[in-house]
Amino acid sequence: VSVTVGRLKLAHPLLNASGAWDAVEAHRLFGTANPGLAGFVTKTVTPEPRAGNPAPRIAPSRMGLLNSIGLPGPGRDAFLASLLPELATLVEGPIVCSVGGFSVDDYLGTVERLEEHPDCAAIELNVSCPNVESGCASIGGDAGETERLTAAARAATSKPLFVKLSASVADIAEIARAAEAGGADALVCINTVKATAINRWTHASRFGGGGGGLSGAAIKPVALHAVLACHEATGLDIVGLGGVETLDDVLDLMAVGATAVALGTSLFRDPSLALQLRDQLAA
Amino acid sequence: MACGFGACNGCAVELDGTWKRCCIEGPVVDGARLVA
């Protein structure tokens, strides 16, 4: 069941969604860093260390989960010097590094250094996080910006280059074509869907920070539509994700054009889900 | 708490002046660290 997605070879089609798995904690708690996953996608790396958004960061939703985490992380220098080499000793399979920022230069500075880092197998440009104040989703919401960033990253790396898209745009096919024109090897569809939770008495957000993204089973039909639209619009390989919980969900996304499938929110309820799905895929 | 095993960063609490995961750094902590 091995697959190649955007020139990245995987032993089977299952990955984690960026941000939805911590391989270091998993190794410490479960004795295995990425059980059932063919590789590991890191949390998004930003140039400077980020504390993330103030609490509360999550809110419940029927058939889903709302979050406004805000990309906490150690920053580029610490990631490259210590976290990435540590991950390489722990995880099975290739490491895909998710890159984020607030300007093209933010992304490029990280991509250039990942190009030289032996532990990075592929690069995912996160242009779709709904929970940071600028950059990111505002790049991925604009076809011209997406093409410009992708082309700049393409010029800076020969490694497989993925672009992670948001469905919270007017026309995801247009953004997908822009990523293809910029030289992406694959698309990752989709990030969380822009959403919010409020206190109706005060009209205040239930989150401590801004933004808000919906994940979980509620968005699976949105992901299905996005993967289909991107598959019809481009010739690129696609990592499909959004609300995947069952083998049927995996097969549905693959039926409309996904070569690989990632798990996010469903891993929170069952960290062994990828092991089960991998065995079901192989059966 | 969404995951409970350190993956999601959703349970952040301000501890010693920085955001920490309640599920990993806690869940039981010295109250003085919460108001420090």
The tens digit of pLDDT for each residue in A18-61 reads 999 999 999 999 999 999 999 999 999 999 999 999 999 999 99
Helices A143-156, A104-115: inter-axial angle, 10-degree rounding: 30
**pLDDT value at residue B31:** 86
* CB A104 within 8 Å of CB A149: yes
Mean pLDDT of chain A: 96
Residues A101/A106/A108/A114 CA torsion (nearest 10 deg): -70
Band of the pLDDT at B33, cuts 50, 70, 90? confident
Complex confidence, ipTM: 0.90
**pLDDT value at residue B36:** 54
Band of the pLDDT at A109, cuts 50, 70, 90? very high
A85 preceded by cis ω (within 30°)?
no
* Catalytic choice (A129, A136, A189, A230): A129
Least CB–CB distance from B9: residue in A52, A65, A271: A52
Band of the pLDDT at A157, cuts 50, 70, 90? very high
**Mean pLDDT to the nearest integer, A247-268:** 98
Least CB–CB distance from A22: residue in B1, B7, B11: B7
- For residue B22, the chain A residue with the least C-alpha distance is A55
Mapped onto helix, strand or coil, the DSSP state of residue A2 is coil
> Which DSSP string do the residues of A143-176 spell out, in sequence order?
HHHHHHHHHHHHHH--S-EEEEE-SSSS-HHHHH
**pLDDT value at residue A104:** 95
**Whole-angstrom distance, CA of residue A163 vs CA of residue A244:** 19
Residue A7 burial (CB count, 10 A): 15
Band of the pLDDT at A215, cuts 50, 70, 90? very high
Q: What are phi and psi of A249, to 5 degrees?
A: -60, -45
Task: Give A51 to chain B, closest Cα distance, Å.
Answer: 6
Least CB–CB distance from A65: residue in B2, B12, B14: B2
Instruction: List all residues 6 or more positions away from A173 whose beta carbon is below 8 Å from its beta carbon.
Output: A229, A230, A232, A233, A234
What is each CA distance from A39 to A33, A59, A95, A205, A261, in whole angstroms?
A: 10, 29, 6, 36, 12
The 8-class DSSP code of residue A99 comes to: E
Q: In terms of C-beta density within 10 A (0-12 exposed, 13-18 middle, 19 or more buried), how is residue A248 classed?
A: exposed
Whole-number percent of chain A with pLDDT over 90 = 95
Q: Tell if the CB–CB gap between B5 and A20 is shorter than 8 Å.
A: no
Q: Which helix (H) or strand (E) holds A43?
A: none
Mapped onto helix, strand or coil, the DSSP state of residue A50 is strand
Task: Give A173 to chain B, closest Cα distance, Å.
Answer: 29
**Mean pLDDT to the nearest integer, A121-134:** 90
Task: Give B34 to chain A, closest Cα distance, Å.
Answer: 13
Query: Which two tokens mark A216?
Result: 């979980």
B8-32 pLDDT, tens digit each: 999 999 998 889 999 999 999 988 8
A180-211 pLDDT, tens digit each: 999 999 999 999 999 999 999 999 999 999 88
A129 tagged catalytic: yes
- Bridge partners (DSSP) of residue A3 are A10
